[in-house]
Structure 1
Amino acid sequence: MSGFDIESSTARMAAGEAPWSSIGNPVITRSVLRDFLSNPGATAGLMTLGIIVLLALLAPWLAPGDPQSIVGPERLWPGTNPDFLLGTDSLGRSVWAGLVHGARISLLVGITATFLGLVFGGLVGAVAGYCGGWIDDLIVRFIEIFQTIPSFVLLVVLVAFATPTIGTVIAGIALVSWAMIARLTRAEFRSIREKDFVMAARASGISAPRIILQEILPNALPSLIVVSSIMVASAILMESALSFMGLSDPNTVTWGSMIGASREVIRSHWYLTLMPGGCIVLTVLALNLIGDGLNDALNPRIRRKIRSRKGVE
């Protein structure tokens, strides 16, 4: 172990803190994973999301062909035809094909938009939180400009003036989501940069990029991991709303577009909106349960409370 590692570890112990190790130790440790999997809600959410992801990955084999193709009579109820177990929509398209292919689009948009928002927002927030001073003030004002405009209103304006493609939707959602990540990252960096182990790293002559990547970022990751699951759920809801309004890619089938196409027959053929709507609810609920489980597992205070409660029981 280097002199810096010893000095840094000593400073951490003296401060009575147990931050994530700077090098070599992952954020998701065995104890964290064990606590996460012991949470019934988190386990249920993980299993539900796993099934949805599996269906999305296997969509080309589970429902081969174009999901927008007319394959049968219009508005077949579920169970009335063995070839279309979940029925057909108002145009004679397979509801099953729309659901599994729509899952691919929803997950693609949610994960990609969240990743882009995390990268850009995390970078902006890290610079603001670590540098401080006038740089911090300038970046905060820039963030506030985005946060003064309602996210969905801004998203609708951005997508409406652009070509309606999945790429446009992803870019738009990322653009309206990064500010929240930047604010969270800034707060985490401002708090962690004053810790004793970071001060010891500065005193040892460690460069700012190394301090950020090896000391501060690993300790900020738990909060970012938790919020990312919520962001994926939010992105899926935004994409579904855009598709429902007809502002998404017209050449792709999404859960939102399935609901939008069936709104005129919602009274007589309610199953056409119930099934894609149920998929949205299940996916968002699963992601929120996973987010709650990650928060409980990654937050040291909550972990101590849960373990002490189990010890009493």
Structure 2
Amino acid sequence: MIKTIVNDKQLLFGILGIIALLIIVAFAPNIAPENPYVFGPDVLNKIGENGHILGTNKMGQDIFSMIIYGTRTSLQVAVISALISGLLGILIGGIAGFFGGTADRIVSEIINIFMMLPTFFLILLIIALFGNSIYNVMIVIGLTTWPSNAKLMRAQALSLRERTFVKAATAMGETKGQILFKYIIPNGIFPVIANTTVGMSNAILTEAGLSFLGLGDPNIISWGQMIYDGKSFLTSAWWIATFAGVAIVITVTIFYLLGDGLNHVMNPKHSKGKGV
């Protein structure tokens, strides 16, 4: 396993990046020189001025500390929305592919409807109706991104239900529910895991996009909110929005590397190709 990770550079860099992000999240109070929620007298300080590594914003908040604490928000959004999306996709896709028939046709039509809808505008509509708290944002992202996971799980279930070990379990008298949760989902979950990891980066971008449009949660520190607050100061205090944007790019890249690396490792065709 370790050899596989080392050989796949994308997966290795993705894992190292995730470890670095988790360290930042765990030790944020120790890494951040100031409390980013406290307003200070040093307004719009430049980089390095008065001891502020990345300067301050219009409220005197330390930008470096805000970047550190914003990591918590981004990872929280990524993980929770991905869990919602992944669990829904696995259950719905698994049921549709394994049971087939009417259930499969209904789920397939629902997936097609969701795939045709402009997801971001649907999220905008729901946030406008139900409020822009960070919890609403995470739930909405999860509830609107499950179809891709469901399609992957459905395809896996359609293939796995014809395998010999599944037919043997049926012959031994195991119920369809037992077969689904003991054989179908555990053996078909790997592409969904890789896709969900990539979906985490999309969740971070979606939250940042909502915050940039003024629909983010104003009570938390987030990189999208920082860009929103700093866009009117781009000519006079560019550091407010710039470093938040850089943080988003780096974090999204880490998740893409991790997801792509997992896809390489978990793809049987890739494994066979490397063994030749």
The structure with more radius of gyration: 1
Deviation of 1:143 after TM superposition, in Å, equals 2.2
Partner of 2:16: 47
Partner of 1:123: 91
Partner of 1:26: none
Selected match of 2:233 from 257, 260, 265: 265
Partner of 1:73: 42
Specify which structure has the higher proportion of helix: 2
Partner of 2:274: 306
The one-letter code matched in structure 1 to 2:69 is H
Q: How does 1:99-178 map to 2 (within 5 A)?
A: 99-178=67-146
Distance in 2, matches of 1:221 and 1:64, equals 42
Deviation of 1:307 after TM superposition, in Å, equals 3.5
Q: After superposition, give the CA deviation of every residue in 1:23-58 in whole Å (9 maximum; x if it has no partner).
A: xxxxxxx3xx53123212221222122212211221
The one-letter code matched in structure 2 to 1:221 is I
Q: Which shows bigger deviation, 140-149 or 182-191?
A: 140-149
The one-letter code matched in structure 2 to 1:147 is M
**Residue segments in structure 1 that go unaligned for 5+ positions in a row:** 1-29, 309-313
- In the alignment, is the contact (CA less than 8 A) between 2:90 and 2:189 conserved in 1? no
Q: How many residues align?
A: 276
Partner of 1:245: 213
1:58 aligns with 2:42: no
The one-letter code matched in structure 1 to 2:4 is D
Partner of 1:188: 156
Q: TM-score, normalised by structure 2?
A: 0.94
- In the alignment, is the contact (CA less than 8 A) between 1:36 and 1:296 conserved in 2? no
Deviation of 1:193 after TM superposition, in Å, equals 0.8
**Residue segments in structure 2 that go unaligned for 5+ positions in a row:** none
Q: How does 1:216-227 map to 2 (within 5 A)?
A: 216-227=184-195
SS in 1 for 2:57: coil
1:233 aligns with 2:201: yes
SS in 2 for 1:302: helix
- In the alignment, is the contact (CA less than 8 A) between 1:72 and 1:88 conserved in 2? no
- In the alignment, is the contact (CA less than 8 A) between 1:36 and 1:294 conserved in 2? no
Deviation of 1:65 after TM superposition, in Å, equals 6.5
Q: After superposition, give the CA deviation of every residue in 1:152-182 in whole Å (9 maximum; x if it has no partner).
A: 1111111111122111101110111112211
Distance in 1, matches of 2:183 and 2:225, equals 45
- Backbone CA RMSD of aligned residues: 1.6
Q: TM-score, normalised by structure 1?
A: 0.84
